[in-house]
């Protein structure tokens, strides 16, 4: 039974690592999205970093991407930046593989 228990523990550890990696990827994607939106809103330096952090934190409100989308959409609207919903969603999707690549390179 020891072999089975070892395999089960290994699978659980892999699942936990995969979940942690996915969380890091999404957080990185949201940070990159925040920095992109900050640039569009002419926010720079420490303020851009703080804004990006607020985008990352907005993802903790509910599962999925809608909380992040609503935050950035609202902020862009408030700043009168003309970006369509479609473009915003496309950019979120474009940043996902970039974020995954960055996180994976850091893990090496």
In the chain, where the domains are located:
25-107
Predicted TM-score of the model (pTM): 0.84
Please give the CATH architecture assigned to the domain spanning 25-107.
Answer: Orthogonal Bundle (1.10)
- Percent of the chain clearing pLDDT 90 (strictly above): 73
How do residues 42-53 score in pLDDT, each as one tens digit? Answer: 999 999 999 999
Residues near 27 by Cβ (< 8 Å), separated by ≥ 6?
Answer: 56, 59
Q: How far is CA 86 from CA 4, 64, 69, 73, 93, in A?
A: 48, 17, 11, 11, 11
């Amino acid at each position: 039974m020891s072999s089975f228990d070892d395999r089960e523990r290994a699978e659980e550890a892999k699942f936990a690592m995969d979940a942690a990696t996915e969380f890091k990827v999404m957080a990185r994607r949201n940070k990159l999205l925040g920095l992109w939106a900050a640039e569009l809103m002419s926010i720079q330096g420490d303020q851009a970093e703080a804004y990006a952090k607020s985008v990352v934190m907005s993802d903790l409100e509910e599962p999925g991407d809608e909380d992040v989308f609503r935050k950035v959409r609202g902020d862009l609207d408030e700043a009168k930046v003309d970006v369509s919903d479609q473009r915003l969603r496309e950019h979120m999707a474009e940043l996902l593989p970039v974020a995954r690549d960055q996180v994976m390179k850091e893990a090496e």
